[in-house]
Each structure stands twice: as C-alpha cells, then as structure tokens.
Amino acid sequence: MEEKKKQEKKLAPPTEKKAKPEKKDLGVISYDIPTPPGEKKDVLSALPDSYSPQYVEAAWYSWWEKQGYFKPEYGPNPRGVFMMCIPPPNVTGSLHLGHALTNAIQDCLTRWHRMRGETTLWNPGCDHAGIATQVVVEKKLMRERGMSRHDLGRDQFIQEVWKWKNEKGDRIYHQLKKLGSSLDWDRACFTMDPKLSYAVQEAFIRLHEDGVIYRSKRLVNWSCTLNSAISDIEVDKKELTGRTLLPVPGYKDKVEFGVLVSFSYKIEGSDEEVIVATTRIETMLGDSAVAVHPADPRYQHLKGKMVLHPFSVRNLVSLSPPGAVKITPAHDHNDYEVGNRHNLAFINILDENGLLINVPAPFLGMKRFEARKAVLQALKDRGQFKETKDNPMVVPVCSRSKDIVEPLLKPQWYVDCADMGKQAADSVREGRLKIIPDHHHKTWFNWLDNIRDWCISRQLWWGHRIPAYFVTVTDPSDMDGHYWVSGRTEEAARDKAAKRFNVSTDKITLRQDEDVLDTWFSSGIFPFSIFGWPNETQDLSVFYPGSLLETGHDILFFWVARMVMMGLKLTGKLPFKEVYLHAVVRDAHGRKMSKSLGNVIDPLDVITGISLEGLYAQLQDSNLDPVEVEKAKQGQKSDYPTGIPECGTDALRFALCAYTSQGRDINMDVNRILGYRHFCNKLWNAVKFAMRTLGDNFVPSEKAQESVSDRWILSRLCSAVGQCNAGFQAYDFPAITTAIYNFWLYELCDVYLESVKPVFSRAEEDSGSRSQAVVCRQTLFTCLETGLRLLAPIMPFVGEELYQRLPRRRSQDGHPSIHVTPYPETEEGLIDLEKEVAKLTVKKGELEKQMDKLREKMDKSDYKEKVPVKVQELDADKVRRGQRECHYSGFSLGKWGIPTVNPLLGSACKVRLSVASEVCGDL
C-alpha cells in the first residue's frame, strides 16, 4: 500500500506536482542561419546543446503559412468538416493572458482536428470596436493636433480612424502569430470590411421590415464623456462600502459617493412633511412623485394629497415600497417602470453632456456633480435637509471613459428579443445546441427566459451607420416609428416611403439617422457574414453552420446568445453545434486581472521574458494615475522580483492547457510556466540521446520482435494516445497534458531510456545484445515519432523542430510537416493488448500444467526415499523458479486483466517493478 501511494504521487498530473527544475541556468541560443520568410528552416545542422525558445520558434510560422497548412483546402480530408471562428478581438486591443488561453485552446483543437484528417478552418477576424477605437483616435487627435472630432467633421474623422487602423490595427494579428495560432489568414475579416458591412446593413433592413427592430424612447446607460449609450458589458460595477471620493472626467476635484442624503418634502396645506432619502441628491430636481406603503399607518392620511417640491408641485402616489421613497422616472431604471405603471411625468434634467436642463434658474446649466453640492446646500438653506450617512452601494462606471454612467431617457433602436430568445433557449433545452460545461445552462435559461429588448444604437461616428431614414411629408413633428424607413440606399428608402404614404418621391424628404450600430450587432452575425451572407457563396454552403464556438463564459450573453438568436432568425440554422466556455484567468493569488494591481501580463512578455524595469516602463505608458502606478509597481515587485524569465510559446501554451479545468477559474502563476520550459528541455535531451542512439544509418521498420520492456513502453504509449484523443473529444485539456507529461517524463525518460542504456552499451560486446539493441532502436523511434505527434497540437514549435530531425517511415514520406501528419490513434497497432494477453494466458496455462505434474511427482509417498537428494534439490529449485515464472511469465495478469512487467527476464527488462506494474496496471 505504501509503495502504491508513492507511485500515485509520482504519477500525479503536472498541475498537482511541479517538474523538478534543472539547476543549470537557462541558456539563450538564437537561430542565426539566414532564412528568407516563408522558406523552410535549416534542419540539417546539429541541434544546439540545450533547448532555447528563441532558436526553436524561429522561422517555422512563416513556412507553415506559405505552405498552406492552415488552409482547409490543404491535402485530402476524408473525415468531414471542422469549422470554428475566432472571437474577433478589438482592433485597438493587445493580448493578455486571457486572450492567450482562448487562443491556446482554440489552436490545439484546430490542429488536432486537422491532423485527424478533417477539412479544418479556423477563421480569423477583428472587431472595429466602435467606442474603443473612436476614443483612441480622438485622444491621438487632441494630443497631436489639439483638435476634436467635431473640429474635423464626420467624414474627415472617419478617414483618420481608417488611417490609424491601417497603421496600428494589425498588432494583435502579430501577437496571435507569435502564439502559433494556425489561422487561415487569407480569410481574415474586419467587421468594417465591405463584405461584412453589406451583411450588417442587410440584417438590419430585414429585421426592421419584419418589425423585429423598432424605435422607442427609453432609459439607456449613458456616458456623458463619450456622448453615447453603452452596453451593459461596458459598465463596470464599482462596489463601495461607504463614503468614497472618486475621480470623474471633467471635474478637477473628486466627487463624493456612497452617502445617503435624507431630506423632507412639505405636504401642501399643512405643516406636515414626509422624509425621503437618495444617494443622488441632484436627481430630486426631476422627482415627479413620492411613494408610500398603502399599509403603513404613518401615511394613510396623506394618500391623494400633494407634496410641495422646493421648486414645483408633485403628486403623492400610493405604492408598495415600505416607508416613503422619491420617484424619478427619467433618471432611475426602477423608477422608470413605476412611472410607466402609474402614468407619471418623465422629467429629464440632464442633456447629453451631463449639464442640467429643465430646472429652475439657480441650477440651470450646471454640471451634474456640481449641482449635487448646490442642491444639498439649497435644501440646508430651506431647512429641509435632515442627515447624511454612509451607504454601501454600487456605482456604475464606464469601462471606456471611466465616467459615471447616467440613466438617460433617449430615443433609440431596439431589437425585440422575446421570440428569438425563446428559440435560443429551446435549442439547448431540446439538445440541438450543446453548452459545455453544462452548469452554464442555468445562467443561459435565466437570461433568455427573462430577456429584455436589446438597444442597438450608439451615438458614435465610427461604426456601421444605421441604414434608417426619418421621413418628412407634412407632419415632421411626429416622431413615431411609422416615420422611419430603412433602405440599402437613400433612393431605395425614398421609394419605400413614397409607397407607404402614397405620394410621389419628390414629396419625400429624408434624413439618415446619425447613429451607428452596437458592435455586438455586427459580431452577432459574424459566423455567417464572414462567408458572404446574404449571398449564397461556396464557403457559406461548406462552412456554415460551424462546428464549435469556444470563448470565455463572461460573454455568454453579449456574444454567444446573440449569435444563436441572429443565426436562427436570419439563416434558420444554429451557427454552431457546440459551445465550449473556458474559465476566467486570474493571478496566482486568485485576484481578477487589473492594471492597477500590476497583474495584467502580456503573453509576449512570458514568451520572450522581461525585466522588472521593463514591467515598470509599461506601467508608465498606461493610463493609470500616479497612485495606481505605485500600487501596481509594488504588486509586480512582489510577484516578479527579478522580472519574468523567457519561457517560450510552447511552455506557455502547455501551462494554459494544463490549468484549464472545466468549471473553475484559473489562478495562473507565471513562475510555474517556467517548469514547462524545463519539460521542453527534457524532450530536447531525450531526442538528442535517441538520435545518437539510432545512428546515421537507422531505417525505421514497421514491425520488430519487441522485448518485454519494449512491449511495456509501447503499452504506455498506447495508453497516452487513448487518453489524449479522449481528452480532446471531451475538452478535458488537463487530461491531455497529464498524459503527455507522464509518458515523456516518467515513463519514456525515467524508465524506458534508463532500462535500454545497458543494452546499447553492451551491443558491441555480444551478438545477443546487438540484436536486442536493433529492436530497442525501432521501439525508441516509434515512441519519439508518435510522442511528438501527440504533443504537436499543444507544443507546435518544439514538436516541429524535433520531428524534422527524425528519419521517416516509408508510409509517412508524404508528410512534410508534423502538423499535417495523422494524429496518433490506438488502432495503429503500437501494441495489440488483446493478442498479448491471449498469448500470455496460454503460456501461463502451460506453466501451471508443468507445475501440477511436478507437484504430483513430489507428493508421492515414496518420493523422499527413492529419489536422490540432489534430484530433490533440483526439483525444489524448479518449483521455486516455476512459481516465479508462472507469476511473472513475461507478464502477470492483474485485476484489470492487463499484463505487468516481469523484471527477471534479462537486463533490458530490469526496470523498477513497482513503477512498471502500477503504470501497466492502470490500463
């Protein structure tokens, strides 16, 4: 039992047990052989003495791309189609470890499907990121030329954005290539490309004509700094425990939040008052009612009376909340619903810039948070202020502008999601769409079963301009949706309006909406717009619907659900068959990644390494304020006192996959990634040893007469192959990395290579060892070649580098790259376990018969008297040897019916019995 525990500990997955770091310093070796981009890397020169990511990762990617290995058209693909589109990153974006996780998983899956012989497409793309891009270019314009977008005008500003995009927008593509992402770059799509823009326009017009898109005046999340509505995903919820001063764009001094202010309203015609409280005292200027609980005895006599606003008169309304509360329908989401139910006045007191309107003169034109102080003072002056106290609350902050988000009443375009949401929910309920892990089902159903209509208009200049026109005939004051038409061109819209109002086209005046569409709208049709929808293209017929959508669970609603809704509505098909949602990447301490904590890491810094000073320099270039910069520096100094060592792409990808346990967030310790660089070095040394052992004249053969140790390592290889394929099919990436890690490190290097070294050392001395060495070389080659193909999807660079140095079997001469070889399968006959078990069972039966005859002889009553002593000793020795041979007859059959190693059958097989029997037994 104790020995078994030791072996279980030894075979623990790498996520549980760190690889023992090598004592020698990490070497940096550069690949300096001139190789034009796209040409094959030199593989004839000797391998460097040690593994170095800089050497290994040089030149391969451009060769893969030029050879067309990433294209679905490459090679015969008899096993169906696998298609996946990338979650399009923002054109302004820079990869962080969360992106690296997404792309590591997606690329591993893509490479595995490609090696399985499927027609494989991983389609790249980039999102125009309306708000983020406009903010970046506006800041650049102001910094360099002292101008705003309004100084330039819409057309010239959009030209500036395109100029910036063409100069800077490909940075994220460069990072994806550094991560080894095997995307078909010839099919790369930008959401503002003509093909995708046409699809967006068509989608809007069809949905508008069907009545699914409509126009309505409602409360939206408004950023006064951006002058635009923003989506929920662009609103950060900042939790406060009490009184807190926060910086707000456009204000010199910080603004107070987390305080509850109580004040009174006077009752008309009496000396009585009713006390209410609010955390946004300035909104009392827009109050249109006070609500009291109908059962509260304190307020029964006030029902139906009037309260006196300091500046106007409001009705007293009897509602259900306990106590008394103020109602501001035009500036609070809950009050908006109350106002609709009770037909209250909607009094808007803010314009798009956050300046007060529709208020008495003392406050008119004030900035909203300056009015906060002024209103409070005015209440004190009138004797209606009661008290302030700390109040825990959540403050909505715009993630783009860092402004405080205001609920604002604006006419906007909406998508009616009721029917589409039901269809999307039912597709999962009925099993037509599979979401993995399935614990996300509850969230999926909760959101879709209670879905609200989707606000799709944004008050920006950069983006897909809404193809809708306001029609003026005789009554331009009527803003009803009836007076809006959509059209592919202004002429088409004019014709449509003329028919609707039964007038000639010359009687029609049109004004196109200034707004653009929410970027999630164009992202929602991404799975089919990239293939030319609404046109019936060949790519659309072959690759849509896709196979899989892989992304983070944090955009389950904003993107995944909307793709499903839009796909079903516009194409009648689900856009993919499965959705795999990976976890969120956190730092080693379990904290969310945040620039202010200094724990947001660029994956390229892990790949190439960076000093602590280099990390500091990146903070200086960020938008953090000085206090946050110092806090972030302390975090970096604590976590990376000597910076981040060069780990390489392969080690980073392997670590990310090893961490990806379904349903749990990932606490990523960058220092542990270094352990997988040492693992790469172990692979490196194993192949270098094998190359010396195989010799220059080695020719792989298809079949050899393996010894016991050969059959054991081949059984372990077969087990690893099975575990890897099962892991890919189940999206169980730790199972894949564990199988690869254990096979290479604990079984091939620690056991088999050590067991065969004596065989090779004695090969020159006697013919028996020489013939055994020939077999061992064939086994060793099989392990190396198959083992490299196993790890190639996860570690593409070191897999290619080492594979290119190996000899080729005749059946594989046609595969110029490891990434277009077949992925190993258990059916390759690495070892026929059933045949081996059958043979051993027969052998064991024969030995047992011989033992029975011997025992029958020795059990005779006159055996000791008639048989000479020396013969008796020989018989006893035969019994002992027979018992051992019967038990270990090449193998013994464990409780699983699987052979374990006999350590007594020759020096080549004298491996550690406890290790060998356990690892064979777990088959």
Q: Give pLDDT tens digits for 155-178.
A: 999 999 999 999 888 889 999 999
548 in Cβ contact with 557 (< 8 Å): no
Question: What percentage of the chain exceeds 90 in pLDDT?
Answer: 59
- Mean pLDDT, range 343-357, rounded to an integer: 93
In a domain, 82, yes or no: no
Task: Based on the fold, state whether residues 819 and 849 are members of the same structural domain.
Answer: no
Question: 589 vs 919, which has greater pLDDT?
Answer: 589
236 in Cβ contact with 392 (< 8 Å): no
Task: Based on the fold, state whether residues 273 and 339 are members of the same structural domain.
Answer: yes
pLDDT band, residue 703 (cuts 50/70/90)? low
Quick check: helix, strand or coil at residue 137? helix
Per-residue model confidence (pLDDT) at position 672: 83
pLDDT band, residue 887 (cuts 50/70/90)? low
Task: Based on the fold, state whether residues 494 and 369 are members of the same structural domain.
Answer: no
- Of 570, 586, 470, 488, nearest to 522 by C-alpha is 570
Q: Kindly report the pTM of this predicted structure.
A: 0.83
Task: Based on the fold, state whether residues 338 and 483 are members of the same structural domain.
Answer: no
Helical packing angle, 130-145 and 154-168, nearest 10°: 100
Task: Based on the fold, state whether residues 800 and 723 are members of the same structural domain.
Answer: yes
Quick check: helix, strand or coil at residue 84? strand
Task: Based on the fold, state whether residues 740 and 805 are members of the same structural domain.
Answer: yes
Q: Is residue 463 scored above 90 in pLDDT?
A: yes
Task: Based on the fold, state whether residues 818 and 844 are members of the same structural domain.
Answer: no
Q: Is residue 358 scored above 60 in pLDDT?
A: yes
Task: Based on the fold, state whether residues 800 and 854 are members of the same structural domain.
Answer: no
Of 664-678, 707-721, 872-886, the poorest mean pLDDT is in 872-886
In a domain, 916, yes or no: no
Tell me, rounded to whole angstroms, the distance of Cα 588 from its chain centroid: 18
**And the tokens for 133?**
């891009």
Q: Is residue 896 scored above 50 in pLDDT?
A: no
**And the tokens for 605?**
């810094």
Per-residue model confidence (pLDDT) at position 800: 97
559 in Cβ contact with 567 (< 8 Å): no
Q: One-letter amino acid identity for 459?
A: Q
122 in Cβ contact with 189 (< 8 Å): no
- Mean pLDDT, range 717-733, rounded to an integer: 95
DSSP 8-state class, residue 453: P
Residue-range definition of the domain harbouring residue 489? 467-512
- Of 270, 283, 375, nearest to 329 by C-alpha is 283
Per-residue model confidence (pLDDT) at position 835: 61
CATH number at residue 267: 3.90.740.10
- Mean pLDDT, range 291-299, rounded to an integer: 79
pLDDT band, residue 734 (cuts 50/70/90)? very high
CA–CA dist 18, 535 (Å, integer): 53
Q: pLDDT (tens digit, 9 = 90+) per residue, 647-665?
A: 999 999 999 999 887 656 7
In a domain, 114, yes or no: no
Alpha-carbon torsion angle 806, 809, 811, 814, nearest 10: 30
81 in Cβ contact with 116 (< 8 Å): no
Of 299-313, 390-404, 416-430, the poorest mean pLDDT is in 299-313
- Of 254, 284, 257, nearest to 374 by C-alpha is 284
In a domain, 589, yes or no: no
Question: 631 vs 785, which has greater pLDDT?
Answer: 785
Of 459, 477, 512, the domain-final residue: 512
Of 495, 512, 529, the domain-final residue: 512
In a domain, 668, yes or no: yes
Q: pLDDT (tens digit, 9 = 90+) per residue, 207-265?
A: 999 999 999 999 999 999 999 998 887 898 999 999 999 999 999 999 999 999 999 99
Q: How many domains does the chain have?
A: 4
Of 804, 831, 858, the domain-final residue: 831
Burial 587-613 (b: 16+ CB within 10 A, else e): beeeeebebbbbbbbbbbbbbbbbebe
CA–CA dist 725, 718 (Å, integer): 11
**And the tokens for 446?**
């909760």
- Of 126, 107, 96, nearest to 61 by C-alpha is 107
Q: Is residue 154 scored above 60 in pLDDT?
A: yes
- Mean pLDDT, range 796-813, rounded to an integer: 83
DSSP 8-state class, residue 770: H
Q: Is residue 791 scored above 70 in pLDDT?
A: yes
Q: Is 30 buried (19+), middle (13-18) or exposed (0-12) by CB count in 10 A? A: exposed
Q: One-letter amino acid identity for 721?
A: V
Task: Based on the fold, state whether residues 702 and 806 are members of the same structural domain.
Answer: yes
- Of 135, 225, 208, nearest to 488 by C-alpha is 208
Question: What percentage of the chain exceeds 70 in pLDDT?
Answer: 87
Per-residue model confidence (pLDDT) at position 595: 65
Task: Based on the fold, state whether residues 732 and 879 are members of the same structural domain.
Answer: no
Task: Based on the fold, state whether residues 841 and 804 are members of the same structural domain.
Answer: no
- Of 523, 520, 472, nearest to 498 by C-alpha is 472
Q: One-letter amino acid identity for 151?
A: D
Per-residue model confidence (pLDDT) at position 495: 95
515 in Cβ contact with 463 (< 8 Å): no
Report CA-CA distances (Å) from 441 to 87, 187, 438, 553. Answer: 21, 33, 5, 11
Per-residue model confidence (pLDDT) at position 897: 31
Question: 278 vs 592, which has greater pLDDT?
Answer: 278
Q: Is residue 530 scored above 90 in pLDDT?
A: yes
Per-residue model confidence (pLDDT) at position 581: 93
- Of 600, 522, 597, nearest to 566 by C-alpha is 522
CATH number at residue 810: 1.10.730.10
Task: Based on the fold, state whether residues 691 and 743 are members of the same structural domain.
Answer: yes
Per-residue model confidence (pLDDT) at position 907: 28
- What mean pLDDT, rounded, does the chain reach? 86
> In angstroms, what is the C-alpha Rg of the chain?
36
CA–CA dist 374, 903 (Å, integer): 90
Question: 671 vs 382, which has greater pLDDT?
Answer: 382
CA–CA dist 191, 522 (Å, integer): 7
| 526 CB-near residues (< 8 Å, 6+ apart) | 85, 88, 125, 189, 191, 196, 563
DSSP 8-state class, residue 748: I
Phi and psi angles of residue 610, each rounded to the nearest 5 degrees, phi first = -160, 145
- Mean pLDDT, range 852-876, rounded to an integer: 85
In a domain, 173, yes or no: no
Strand partners, 434: 578
Per-residue model confidence (pLDDT) at position 837: 63
